[in-house]
């Protein structure tokens, strides 16, 4: 239960979720492919049926979770929506791309100042940070895009 709480706090911030919704999502993530039922969540998370129901509906509306049923069993088994990970990766890539463009623009500005307005070498802007940061973003982006491709090709069983 400690890991559910820790992951829940993380998801609360990252996914902008209410505390109970974040704990539900954390529990579903940690349950894995076998899924978890509504009744299990009421018991494990010590929340009311109406609270769990409300947040499950919200998480489904956000497309963070999906459910499946088993033949002869009337229960719904909730699991993580694999597309949620892809959505998160897309969001990261977009933010990194925006940051990269900003650093390129700042670097270009500083280069212009260095070349046209500053004669004293000691007063010139050092552009190493921007070069290194852009290189970092490019590498991180490539790694995460590879992860997304592998996820899309079902190389992972989450």
Query: Over the stretch 25-69, which tens digit does the pLDDT of each residue have?
Result: 999 999 998 999 999 999 999 999 999 999 999 999 999 999 999
pLDDT at 41: 97
Provide φ and ψ at 117, rounded to 5°: -120, -15
pLDDT at 158: 65
**Distance, CA of 123 to CA of 69 (rounded, Å):** 68
pLDDT at 122: 87
Low-confidence ranges of the chain (pLDDT < 50): none
pTM listed for this prediction: 0.74
Angle at 20 between CA 152 and CA 5, to 5 degrees: 80
CA 71 vs CA 31, 68, 74, 77, 81: distances in Å: 20, 10, 8, 12, 21
């Amino acid at each position: 239960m400690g890991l559910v709480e820790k992951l829940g706090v993380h998801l609360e911030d990252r996914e902008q979720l209410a505390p109970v919704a974040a704990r539900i999502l954390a529990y579903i993530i940690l349950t894995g492919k076998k899924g978890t039922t509504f009744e299990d969540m009421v018991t494990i998370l010590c929340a009311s049926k109406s609270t769990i129901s409300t947040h499950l509906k919200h998480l489904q509306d956000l497309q963070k979770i999906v459910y499946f049923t088993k033949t002869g069993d009337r229960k719904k088994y909730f699991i993580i929506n694999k597309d949620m990970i892809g959505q998160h990766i897309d969001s990261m890539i977009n933010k990194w791309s925006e940051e990269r463009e900003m650093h390129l623009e700042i670097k270009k500005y500083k280069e212009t100042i260095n070349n046209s307005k500053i004669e004293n070498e000691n007063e010139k802007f050092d552009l190493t940070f921007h070069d290194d940061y852009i290189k970092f973003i490019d590498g991180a982006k490539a790694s995460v895009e590879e992860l997304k491709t592998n996820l899309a090709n079902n190389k992972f069983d989450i």
